[in-house]
């Protein structure tokens, strides 16, 4: 069983990488990327530790975020 501190660290690392991907792939500013991520349903799901999304790769979580950005709905 992972401690809450480890879970928080994992979530923060994925979030950091997602922000960089938004900047690189969508040309967003840091502020836009942070706002996009933190107001997304994907981020809400990422922080719900019981579903285990935080244990997946950044690329996997980014697919959810991309789907949400293009369709308005989480995958």
Name residues whose C-beta falls within 8 Å of residue 54's C-beta, 6 or more positions apart in sequence: 7, 10, 11, 14, 46, 47
Query: How much is the pLDDT for 35?
Result: 97
Which domain does 24 fall in, by range? 4-71
Name residues whose C-beta falls within 8 Å of residue 27's C-beta, 6 or more positions apart in sequence: none
pLDDT tens digits for range 19-43: 999 999 999 999 999 999 999 999 9
CA angle centred on 30, ends 42 and 64, rounded to 5°: 20
pLDDT tens digits for range 42-58: 999 999 999 999 999 99
Structurally, how many domains does the chain consist of? 1
- In this predicted structure, the answer to whether residue 1 has a pLDDT above a threshold of 70 is yes
């Amino acid at each position: 069983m992972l401690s809450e501190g480890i879970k928080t660290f994992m979530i923060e690392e994925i979030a950091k990488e997602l922000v960089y991907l938004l900047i690189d792939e969508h040309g967003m500013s840091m502020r836009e990327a942070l706002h996009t991520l933190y107001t997304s349903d994907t981020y809400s799901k990422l922080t719900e530790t019981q579903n285990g999304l935080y244990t997946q790769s950044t690329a996997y979580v980014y697919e959810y975020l991309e789907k949400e950005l293009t369709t308005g709905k989480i995958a």
